[in-house]
Amino acid sequence: MEKIMKCEMCGKQHSVDIIKEKTLTYIKDEPVEYEETVYYCCNCDEDEAYYVPSEVMNQNLMKARNAYRKMKGLMTSDEIVTLRKKYNLSQVELSKILDFGEATISRYESKSIQDETHDNILRIVSENPIELLKLLDKNKNQFEEYNYNLIRNHIVDVIEEHDNALIKRRNLENYYAKYSEPTIENGYTLLNIDKLEQVVNFVAFNFSVLNKVLLMKLLWYSDVMSYKEKNVSITGLVYEHKDMGALPLGHSALMELSGIDVRENYSNDFDYPTYTVYPKECDFSLLSEKEKNIILKVCKKFRNYSGKQIAKYMHEETAYIKTEDREIIPFSYANDVRDF
């Protein structure tokens, strides 16, 4: 990427080439590969024309350390920030609750790499807010009463949310208890709810008005297209033959998941509410590039379809014609799905 800027190499204003390249470095005596950003002065003829501005040097360092953390299975600095923000805590407050020493969290979020003991504690409180509450109570004397109560109330709220989210996941999981092995019915993929939420949000980001009927068909097409290409589906959902086409088991529970933003609409056209899915901020770390491309292709194909139109289109698939009402649609029909 080229950018016109003041070049630190020759001091002149001109186009500087910004290069990202895989680099090997050593952290704690271990080799770590990460993506380094380097600037290149296109005005100089010498080999010495590469340089790294100081703020970029810090970013490179952070990247290298996060690559090391990932390699070691430790939480990254971003994950620690996310954890702290979830509980609405300052760096000092979180340090005090965990009894780490006041500056510790600040260091983990900026430069130092946590040891395994601290990493374990961070991971436990990240996954389980009750453990954080216990630690807060244990270290209560570190806080003023007023502040302690504020923090405690917030953690209690997070616990409630966390419980609700778990119940909703269980509701969906219950439908899939029977499908705990990879089979032709789930496309040789076990249901992964985190990934499913990412798929739904990825579709929502790439679709302007996404109603429930459309979403369900887009999920089916993404899964069968993936199966057709790679012999495995993406989400692990199991689909039933219904009037409106393929419908995943537990579709109502799916729409309730806390990682998905679904809103009810009431209009004069229907005497029942319709559901619209909105994109929710999330990372797509569980989706491979190939999977993203498949989903994008499906979204592109059906961009201008209404729920009714896509249902009609699906009715003409062999997978639909050859199955009966309420029968599971096996992925063996994926090869017959019309290409687009």
Report, in Å, the least distance between residue 11 CB and Zn ion. Answer: 7
Should residue 9 be labelled a site residue for Zn ion when binding is judged by CB under 5 A? Answer: yes
Should residue 10 be labelled a site residue for Zn ion when binding is judged by CB under 5 A? Answer: yes
Residue range at the interface with Zn ion (CB under 5 A); choices 8-16, 50-58, 161-169, 244-252: 8-16
Q: Pick from 41, 80, 83, 113: which binds Zn ion (CB under 5 A)?
A: 41
End-to-end CA distance of the chain: 34
Residue range at the interface with Zn ion (CB under 5 A); choices 34-42, 65-73, 104-112, 185-193: 34-42
- Between residues 43 and 274, which has the closer beta carbon with respect to Zn ion? 43
Should residue 38 be labelled a site residue for Zn ion when binding is judged by CB under 5 A? Answer: no
Report, in Å, the least distance between residue 51 CB and Zn ion. Answer: 9
Report, in Å, the least distance between residue 22 CB and Zn ion. Answer: 25
Should residue 43 be labelled a site residue for Zn ion when binding is judged by CB under 5 A? Answer: yes
Report, in Å, the least distance between residue 17 CB and Zn ion. Answer: 10
Task: Give which of 275, 281, 280 is closest to 261, Cα–Cα.
Answer: 280
Should residue 7 be labelled a site residue for Zn ion when binding is judged by CB under 5 A? Answer: yes
Concatenating the DSSP letter of every residue in 81-137 gives HHHHHHTT--HHHHHHHTTS-TTHHHHHHHTPPP-HHHHHHHHHHHH-HHHHHHHHH
Q: E strands of the chain, at which residues? A: 2-6, 13-27, 30-41, 50-51, 210-211, 239-242, 245-248, 261-265, 274-278
30 strand-pairing partners: 27
| CA–CA dist 98, 83 (Å, integer) | 13
Consecutive H or E run containing 250: none
Q: Which residues bind Zn ion (CB under 5 A)?
A: 7, 9-10, 41, 43
